[in-house]
Structure 1
Amino acid sequence: MSNTEARHLLVIGIGAGDPDHLTLAAVKAIGRAQVFFVLGKGPEKNALTQLRRDMLDEHASGPYRVVEADDPWRDRTQDERSGYTTAVHDWRQRRADICERLIRDELAPGRCGAFLVWGDPSLYDSTLGILEDIKARGEVAFDHEVIPGISSVSALAARHRVNLNQVGRPVHITPGRRLAEGFPDDDDDADIVVMLDGHQTFRHLTGRGLWIYWGAYIGTPDEILVAGPLDEVSDHIQQVRAEARARHGWIMDTYLLRPGPVGTNG
């Protein structure tokens, strides 16, 4: 296959939910693609699919197609000891099967396709790893490039008007399931950003003198922000989180934990 026949893929970070989070590089990349691949998350998250379509309507510069497929189901009940890694591997393989089929059947050689990725493609997103898996299979030839986006982490800090780090301190980013296994003793002076925490691990960290900066649906009209001493606001966060999840059918939240009282930013 010659270079002129190669399929080209763009992995475009589109931000945490605010259409204005699109960078100029992302807008230019959207204008280059003729086919956009969307893996749906079920009817309760149709608003997220529609938001991506609205972005395309505003920024795509020529005729384009949107190709949708259902994201495969994933078992999220497993922990590290009871098969979490195996469950993720199985889900990624099934997701790779779908993406491989879409690239092969819906993107002609010589054309440009794109995946619109929430936040930044480099941070807790599977798209780049899945594309590498597909490449390793050797069945579909393509090249790809990555356009970074505004992550929910940076958006959280911006909405709370705080730095992610304090002077001379590290920042530790972790999924909630790892924090549930124990507070990182080797990072006892770190500020901790927690993502993908469906079990609200912060509930078990009261009594440590921590402050929390919490946000859900960041960058969308449904955004919720809570900040304060964890001991004082933990119950409130649990309440508003439960109410929001019941109202929308899903929730995506992120939070920053740091030793209190809040020190100097910078």
Structure 2
Amino acid sequence: MRIRVLGIGMGPQHVTPEVAEALRGADYVLAARKAEHDPLLDVRRAICERHGVELAVVPDPPRDRDDPADYPAAVAAWHEERAAAYERVLARRGGTAAFLVWGDPSLYDSTIRVVRRVAGRLGADWDVLPGVSAPHLLAARHRIVLHEVGRPVHITTARRLPEAVAAGQDSIVVLLGGEPELSGLADWTVWWGANLGAPGEELAHGRVGDVLPDLVAARERARAAAGWVMDICLLRRGR
């Protein structure tokens, strides 16, 4: 048994030759269905069809998304339920299975954690191939470098943005979550994008206090065009 974790960027146009070769050698792709109508699953299906590999769909276990008091414990429980669901399919089917991960598997995705658990229990070999990440796409679309010369860039989630600002971070890449809480950041500069590399891509750039209304409207346009929205931004403190 072999399990391959494959980064796919934002869809078929970002599948690298290395990942395409891995797909051609897989017996099937294993993917979670998160809703009855799941547009992100549809993209995975399109990739499978393009590369001639079967898609095996597993209902995704429910997750507590209401900011539980013990967030790490809630996520760990969800990961274990996912691992158990995947393990049942893998144990029954064997062969070479692939997981298609949005962006790059190393960044704010738990497929590696889940697969490590499953592979250990099944005694399966597994590997990871990289993909194009959202920060890469954001920087390319805006033609920028994410950090200033000789300085760091901090990568975090929308829910932890206030913590990063309070800690003194001044170049912050923000992923995941709803519309970032930007109150108090009016004089910061933002480089923002939604659904980068996908239908309905939207971009915005400027002083936060000036572009925030346009950003909110662009986010809703992206959601309307694709049926979902994934956005990311770079925030840099004014100097």
Same fold, judged at TM 0.5 (above): yes
Q: State whether structure 2 residue 3 is matched by structure 1 residue 9.
A: yes
Give the alignment partner of residue 85 of structure 1, picking from 57, 67, 72. 72
Q: State whether structure 2 residue 61 is matched by structure 1 residue 72.
A: yes
What does 1:67-146 align with in structure 2 at a 5 Å threshold?
67-78=56-67, 82-107=69-94, 111-136=95-120, 138=121, 140-146=122-128
Closer, same or farther: CA 248–53 of 1 in aligned 2, 3 Å: closer
Report the aligned-residue RMSD: 2.0
Residue aligning to 1:58: 50
Following superposition, the deviation at residue 215 of structure 1 comes to: 0.9
Give the alignment partner of residue 134 of structure 2, picking from 149, 152, 174. 152
Give the share of equivalent positions with the same residue, in percent. Answer: 39
Q: Which amino acid aligns with 1:50?
A: D
Following superposition, the deviation at residue 127 of structure 1 comes to: 0.6
Give the alignment partner of residue 229 of structure 2, picking from 246, 251, 254. 251
SS of 2:163's partner is: coil
Supply the distance in 2 between the matched residues of 1:86 and 1:70 (Cα, whole angstroms).
21
Q: Which has the larger radius of gyration?
A: 1
Is the contact made by 1:36 and 1:66 (CA closer than 8 Å) also made in structure 2? yes
Task: Give 5+ residue unaligned stretches, structure 2.
Answer: none
Following superposition, the deviation at residue 186 of structure 1 comes to: 4.6
SS of 2:13's partner is: helix
Supply the distance in 2 between the matched residues of 1:238 and 1:154 (Cα, whole angstroms).
22
How many residues are treated as equivalent by the alignment?
A: 239
Give the TM-score, by structure 1 length: 0.83
Give the TM-score, by structure 2 length: 0.91
Is the contact made by 1:8 and 1:112 (CA closer than 8 Å) also made in structure 2? yes
Q: What per-residue deviation string (whole Å, max 9, x for no partner) do you get for residues 91-137 of structure 1?
A: 11111111111211222xxx21101111101111111101122244x
Task: Give 5+ residue unaligned stretches, structure 1.
Answer: 1-6, 262-266
Q: Which amino acid aligns with 1:204?
A: S
Supply the distance in 2 between the matched residues of 1:27 and 1:247 (Cα, whole angstroms).
27
What does 1:150-229 align with in structure 2 at a 5 Å threshold?
150-188=132-170, 191-201=171-181, 203-207=182-186, 209-229=187-207
Following superposition, the deviation at residue 216 of structure 1 comes to: 1.0
Supply the distance in 2 between the matched residues of 1:214 and 1:156 (Cα, whole angstroms).
7
SS of 1:77's partner is: coil
**More deviation, 121-130/87-96:** 87-96
Closer, same or farther: CA 182–56 of 1 in aligned 2, 3 Å: closer
